Structure 1
Amino acid sequence: MSSITPTPPAATLRRATPGDAVALAELAARTFRETYAPPAGPCDPADVEAYVADHFGPALQGAELADARLRVVVAESGGALAGYAVVRTASRPGEADNFAPASEQEATALLEVATAELARLYVDRPWHGSGVAARLLDAARAEAAAAGAGALWFSVYQRNPRAVAFYRKRGARTIATATFTMGREVQHDWLMAVPTTSGGAT
């Protein structure tokens, strides 16, 4: 007799707290590996592991949660984290490495008001396709709006077509190109932006 896997409770969104540091670090490391390391990702495993060691851990995420410039929103279901988004306020696209703005009028207009950055948005694999990513993006846009930004900007690896399609479907436009160095690889990114909305996570 086959068993039926119970459906997890719907995910709720909220601001992260210092008590989330351990779970957030675990989720951040796991989702980064799943995105960039083989077999799903295109990057060198050693470069990915070095990046994870430098950027993810309870102390590192604890410091981020204490940073007044950052707004961290998590999706939670049944006491476990399903995804997260990090918004960095007072951040402009021109700070990215090898920044090259697009010439289109719409891109220029977004560039002028993009003063908050979506530094990270990741969803745990079991929640892919559930709508959690879209809800986190909406929450991030709202957090950016609350910080006074007219648009939320972010970098997307050009070799991650799934992410590019996700953001374009939700109204994001390419405003520039830039590079991001991970280990020995210099990655080429699209810088994208989407107008902000009102109402943040509670």
Structure 2
Amino acid sequence: MIEIKRAYLEDLSAIQNIGITAFTETFSEINTPENMEKYLQENFNTAQLTLEINNPDSPFYIAFCDNEPVGYLKLNMGNAQTETIKDETIEIQRIYVLKAFHGKKIGQLLLDQAVKVANEYHVDYIWLGVWEENHRALQFYSKNGFVTFDKHIFILGNDQQTDLLMKLQIKTRS
């Protein structure tokens, strides 16, 4: 059984382990070990994750499969968003699922949680950045109604990569 629960500081270890493992599983084959190591150290260290988890504008949600943490969602609202897009938006900064659990609809459940939060906050749309080479993620988001609207540079270690910015309309203006 899959359960999605709000995460708090006591979940830091699970978030850290999922983040490092899922990021490595997804991106290590197409990036240098040095760039991977630098990115992981900067973004998944205990101090950085503590700041993120404690930020009230960045809620985390963990996916559990039979009580085992197997994925997580990180949202950013307001000033926590990594780009200044618009006030009435929510950013999905991360949806990470361990590779062993791909195909079990966990990513979909985490995305559904993001949509639920977006509806609760009455935002215009959800947006996110996806590396242009992450074809699996691009296909997943497109299938779920996201459309590309811009791009930005994402720094992985010393490498500048292009992220496509995608959005999903939540409410329509009347």
Give the structure-2-normalised TM-score.
0.89
- When structure 1 is superposed on structure 2, of 79-88 and 56-65 the one drifting more is 56-65
Structure 2 residue aligned with 1:188: 162
Query: What is the deviation of 1:92?
Result: 9.2
Aligned length: 171
Query: What is the deviation of 1:60?
Result: 2.7
Query: In structure 2, do the counterparts of structure 1 residues 149 and 194 end up closer, same or farther at CA, with 3 Å as the change threshold?
Result: same
Within 5 Å, give how 1:68-79 maps onto structure 2: 68-79=56-67
* Separation in structure 2 between the aligned mates of residue 32 and residue 173 of structure 1, nearest angstrom: 23
Structure 2 residue aligned with 1:5: none
Q: Residue 31 of structure 2 aligns to a residue in which SS?
A: coil
Match of 1:144 among 102, 113, 118: 118
Q: Deviations over 1:80-125 (max 9, x none)?
A: 21110000001598937xxxxxxxxxxxxxx767621101111011
Query: In structure 2, do the counterparts of structure 1 residues 17 and 94 end up closer, same or farther at CA, with 3 Å as the change threshold?
Result: closer
* Separation in structure 2 between the aligned mates of residue 93 and residue 70 of structure 1, nearest angstrom: 8
Structure 2 residue aligned with 1:165: 139
Structure 2 residue aligned with 1:48: 36
Q: Deviations over 1:131-186 (max 9, x none)?
A: 01011011012223323322110000001111100000000001111111122211
* Separation in structure 1 between the aligned mates of residue 132 and residue 146 of structure 2, nearest angstrom: 14
Query: In structure 2, do the counterparts of structure 1 residues 91 and 195 end up closer, same or farther at CA, with 3 Å as the change threshold?
Result: farther
Whichever residue aligns with residue 55 of structure 2, its letter is D
* Separation in structure 1 between the aligned mates of residue 100 and residue 119 of structure 2, nearest angstrom: 30
Structure 2 residue aligned with 1:4: none
Identity value in percent: 26
Structure 1 residue aligned with 2:92: 118
* Separation in structure 1 between the aligned mates of residue 87 and residue 143 of structure 2, nearest angstrom: 21
Question: Do the aligned partners of 2:6 and 2:59 also contact (CA within 8 Å) in 1?
Answer: yes
Q: Deviations over 1:9-48 (max 9, x none)?
A: x11011012211111111111111111111xxx2112111
Question: Do the aligned partners of 1:48 and 1:182 also contact (CA within 8 Å) in 2?
Answer: yes
Structure 2 residue aligned with 1:7: none
Structure 2 gaps of 5+ residues are none
* Separation in structure 1 between the aligned mates of residue 71 and residue 4 of structure 2, nearest angstrom: 9
Whichever residue aligns with residue 195 of structure 1, its letter is Q
Give the structure-1-normalised TM-score.
0.77
CA RMSD of aligned residues (A): 2.1
Query: In structure 2, do the counterparts of structure 1 residues 195 and 89 end up closer, same or farther at CA, with 3 Å as the change threshold?
Result: same
Query: Which contiguous aligned blocks of 4+ residues in structure 1 show a shift greater than 6 angstroms?
Result: none
* Separation in structure 1 between the aligned mates of residue 115 and residue 52 of structure 2, nearest angstrom: 19
Within 5 Å, give how 1:61-100 maps onto structure 2: 61-90=49-78, 95=83
